[in-house]
Structure 1
């Protein structure tokens, strides 16, 4: 039997570590999500996890992860509450704790329709939407013609500094601690270049039975399409990705290739009117949990 509300309100909130990976995956599974252990591992290593332990030793009551990019931005993700403690205020309490920890820091998150009302009450505002897509890439619709001289190839160690420079320019804050983990985290990493200049990069990483496309950064939609085509050619798994709803050309092209929309989330921010950087070149995040 779940503990009383008074006792629940008194349970301490603690920092999570990589040792909590399986408990976090169990919590995901408890709420009907995929376990996503590979993603949890990245988030707990690159970010800061917060959680409440079940006093009965049944794992975590609630958890979330914050990926900080310095004073300019932090992303909140993987906000979960165990089914047996749902609708008892524990998720709100965890969020209020996180807001206190990051007081004064602009925050962003992606909200499901169920979670959005809570976030609005906590001061978050919707600034856009994102489409979750999934499907086996068919290669039925070729990529649009990219700017003359554009080529796509596997990334090498020598590309890392150029990738970091482009990522900071497009994302608007320094994500070195996250992007430098990409070569080990992803199964494939590609770069696009034109006349010796890096114009985009993208990766696919394993998540359950799919390969997730993310991040996907490119100078234009055609270059983004060529990066996705190159990555799709390197896997026999279905693709999954999250694309900003404003990128209609990429969304239409993905759907024509069998990668269809299955869910919409709201992009929300707090203490800032919008996200930094250049959204026109930011086609898909590494994961919505990390902003």
Structure 2
């Protein structure tokens, strides 16, 4: 049961309650107000993943703030979709919502991707930075001559590939994200890289915001990641495409820029303890989404 369900922000009275699917249209209005690209279907997808959340409402029931969290098992959670309407952003609404979210996430490892505007808030709540995420987006322009690496095959995903994809995602992220992968696949097309008969990388592409987003992309090296991304760039040539990557430099980032996806913005991956995404021989080159990592 929620405690501390109302708060006065100067002359503004705010109440908090649990977020539900009936709120989607109002949540969409909120995200539009702060120029986030999420469509109603993007909010619906987040809820279908088992995401939980709170909304802050004004005295006549309008949603003016939101925050969500996404459990992975019993000991890990990601936090995202912390939004406050512009008129409340300096009045402590975000901090109040985070107080309730952190109470729900108590005892778990927490990972989040912070916008520039929210960074100081998260820092004051004892989150520390891990690395940057670079948001690349633009009108896709296929690069000429992106051959598959030697001795590999790039093909569309098949149903029998799922077990290998889940195993690769676990190696790249260090957590079981089968619920995320399975749910996103209901809305995405998939590409896999096969080497010596084994799947060694994959990428998904789905509708999001202004166009399409490519992610997650999981691969062992830059060349493989490029080869996994190229089919989606070609398929959506001339339309809006987005990739959120942790690659600060290198040939994969160069490829995105060459393909019309300029660096648009950055967020900072942060954690509340010593947890870090798995660093091994398989890398997550692009996020599923900033809310999910």
TM-score normalised over the length of structure 1: 0.91
Q: Distance in 2 between matches of 1:81 and 1:107?
A: 21
Q: Please show how residues 99-138 of structure 1 align to structure 2 within 5 Å.
A: 99-138=102-141
1:219 is the counterpart of 2:223 = no
1:200 is the counterpart of 2:201 = yes
Q: Distance in 2 between matches of 1:57 and 1:100?
A: 24
Maintained 8 Å contact 2:109/2:275: no
Would you identify which runs of 4 or more consecutive aligned residues in structure 1 move more than 6 Å? none
Which piece of structure 1 moves more, 94-103 or 269-278? Answer: 269-278
For residues 239-264 of structure 1, the C-alpha deviation after alignment (integer angstroms, 9 at most, x for no partner) is 11111034522111211222110111
Which piece of structure 1 moves more, 271-280 or 257-266? Answer: 271-280
User: Alignment partner for residue 241 of structure 1, among 236, 240, 243?
Assistant: 243
For residues 130-156 of structure 1, the C-alpha deviation after alignment (integer angstroms, 9 at most, x for no partner) is 11111223223533662x321111111
When residues 198 and 280 of structure 1 are mapped into structure 2, their CA distance, relative to the original with a 3 A threshold, is closer
Q: Distance in 1 between matches of 2:90 and 2:282?
A: 38
Secondary structure of 1:255's partner?
helix
User: Alignment partner for residue 86 of structure 1, among 85, 89, 99?
Assistant: 89
Q: Distance in 1 between matches of 2:199 and 2:134?
A: 27
Give the paired residue count: 285
Q: Distance in 2 between matches of 1:104 and 1:141?
A: 50
When residues 72 and 250 of structure 1 are mapped into structure 2, their CA distance, relative to the original with a 3 A threshold, is farther
Q: Please show how residues 253-268 of structure 1 align to structure 2 within 5 Å.
A: 253-268=255-270
Q: What's 1:50 paired with?
A: 54
Unaligned 5+ residue runs, structure 2? 1-6
Secondary structure of 2:122's partner?
helix
Q: Distance in 2 between matches of 1:73 and 1:141?
A: 42
Distance apart, 1:189 and its partner CA: 1.2
Q: Distance in 2 between matches of 1:279 and 1:162?
A: 15
Q: What's 1:231 paired with?
A: 232
User: Alignment partner for residue 170 of structure 2, among 150, 156, 168?
Assistant: 168
Let me know the Cα RMSD of the aligned residues.
Answer: 2.1
User: Alignment partner for residue 5 of structure 1, among 9, 18, 38?
Assistant: 9
TM-score normalised over the length of structure 2: 0.90
Unaligned 5+ residue runs, structure 1? none
For residues 185-235 of structure 1, the C-alpha deviation after alignment (integer angstroms, 9 at most, x for no partner) is 22x211111112111111111123321111111121111101111112222
Maintained 8 Å contact 1:72/1:173: no
Higher helix share: 1
Q: Distance in 2 between matches of 1:166 and 1:44?
A: 25
Maintained 8 Å contact 1:143/1:229: yes
Q: What's 2:284 paired with?
A: 282
Maintained 8 Å contact 1:22/1:37: yes
For residues 40-59 of structure 1, the C-alpha deviation after alignment (integer angstroms, 9 at most, x for no partner) is 1111111112212222122x
